[in-house]
Amino acid sequence: MAAELDLDGLRMVEAMLFASADPLSVEDIAARLPIGTDVAGLIDELERQYATRGVNLVPVAGKWAFRTAPDLAYLLQREAVEQRKLSRAALETLAIIAYHQPVTRAEIEEIRGVSTNKGTLDVLLETGWIRMRGRRRTPGRPVTYGTTESFLDHFGLDLIADLPGLEELKGAGLLDSAIPASFHVPLPNDSDILAPDEDPLEEGELFDYEDLGPDAEEDEAQ
């Protein structure tokens, strides 16, 4: 209970989380508190205290942040900044990267069945939702892509494994109930550890449009 906790520490953790523009990890918080402070216990208590309030303390990408209570989100809709919607091609590409990472442009095209315009990946990189991970150990050493912490934050996910699985997608009506028995949704993994067939990007290596090849016309409306 709160009476058994370090109340000064509780106030400090609360202040840091309110003031921070980005989610904070337990390590981030502990670095500013006296050594030996039970940061995890303080976060648990704050999470409990704010569970029924207008803002909730929630886990985001393995860190913690205050967010508007879901049932009150409508109050802020008028204040929300209208953002340009992603094209169907960008949404499909983002979904493939999220579920199949690490994945190359050629692998994305194989899954989608159409060529991917270099501008599609460019848009996703600019949003900060995907990143270049490394280079595949295959001819041409193509860049591999994965999602970012910003992706988890934007979509309200604590872990990439929180993405919906096959049954959840079917239940939401996003997949045909008559899909082939062999169809499966891969278990997503956004680990920073490079795969056995990946090489790290060279230090200071920047996004190179040559990695994407020439423009490709999408076979769908943008």
Domain boundaries, the chain: 2-70, 88-211
> Within 10 Å of residue 218's Cβ, how many Cβ atoms?
17
As a whole number of angstroms, the distance between CA 83 and CA 186 comes to 30
Asked if residue 21 has pLDDT above 80, the reply is: yes
104 within 8 A of 143, measured Cβ to Cβ: yes
Burial of 139 (0-12, 13-18, 19+ CB in 10 A): exposed
Query: SS3 for 97?
Result: helix
| Closest to 186 measured CA to CA, from 152, 163, 153 | 163
More confident residue, 87 or 165: 87
Across the chain, mean pLDDT equals 82
pLDDT band at residue 29, thresholds of 50, 70 and 90? very high
Among 70, 76, 73, 61, residue whose Cα is nearest residue 23:
61
Domain 88-211 has CATH 1.10.10.10: yes
- The β-bridge relationship of strands 63-68 and 103-104 is unpaired
Long-range contacts of 122-129 (CB under 8 A, 24+ apart): 122/209, 123/86, 123/87, 123/90, 124/86, 124/90, 124/93, 124/94, 124/97, 125/207, 129/94, 129/154
**Residue 183: predicted pLDDT:** 63
- Please indicate whether residue 204 or residue 16 has the higher confidence score (pLDDT): 16
Is the pLDDT at 82 greater than 60? The verdict is no
The pTM assigned to this predicted structure is 0.61
pLDDT at 220: 43
152 Cβ contact partners less than 8 Å away, ≥ 6 residues apart: 60, 61, 158, 159, 160
Could you please report the per-residue DSSP string of 1-14? -GGGS-HHHHHHHH
Give the amino acid at 3: A
Give tens-digit pLDDT for 96-128: 999 999 999 999 999 888 888 888 999 999 999
Q: Which CATH class is domain 2-70?
A: mainly alpha
Domain 88-211 in the same topology as domain 2-70: yes
